[in-house]
């Protein structure tokens, strides 16, 4: 880790947080990184289906009945190479 490339204003904020939380700079940086990564994990999980999504949605349509129109016959396609 190259700490000398951290801008002074961020370094000062990290020192302030470490002091407020009675932690070393290393412990504070580790905690902040862990929280950031956890938030990213939560964002990834939220891209998936929510728990019980299908149970709550299935049968939820309250409009006129849905009707599937007759489908055309299958078309013959050229074989793939």
Q: What percent of the chain has pLDDT over 90?
A: 19
* Phi/psi at 58 (5° precision): -60, 130
In a domain, residue 38? The reply is yes
In a domain, residue 61? The reply is no
Structure tokens at 14: 């990290």
pTM metric for this prediction: 0.46
Give the structural domain span for 34.
3-50
In a domain, residue 79? The reply is no
d(C-alpha 27, C-alpha 11), whole Å: 14
In a domain, residue 43? The reply is yes
Angle 59-62-67 (CA atoms, 0-180°, nearest 5)? 80
In a domain, residue 72? The reply is no
In a domain, residue 80? The reply is no
In a domain, residue 71? The reply is no
Number of domains in the chain: 1
pLDDT in tens, 25-61: 889 888 888 888 887 776 656 567 777 777 777 777 7
Contact 46, 56 (CB under 8 A): no
In a domain, residue 70? The reply is no
Residue 22, pLDDT > 80, answer yes
């Amino acid at each position: 880790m190259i700490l000398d490339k951290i801008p002074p204003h961020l370094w000062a904020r990290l020192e302030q947080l470490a002091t407020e939380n009675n932690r070393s700079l290393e412990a504070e940086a580790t905690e902040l990184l862990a929280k950031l990564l956890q938030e990213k994990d939560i964002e990834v999980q939220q891209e998936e289906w929510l728990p019980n999504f299908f149970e709550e949605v299935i049968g939820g349509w309250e409009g006129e009945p849905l009707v599937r129109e007759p489908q055309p016959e299958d078309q013959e396609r050229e074989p793939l190479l």
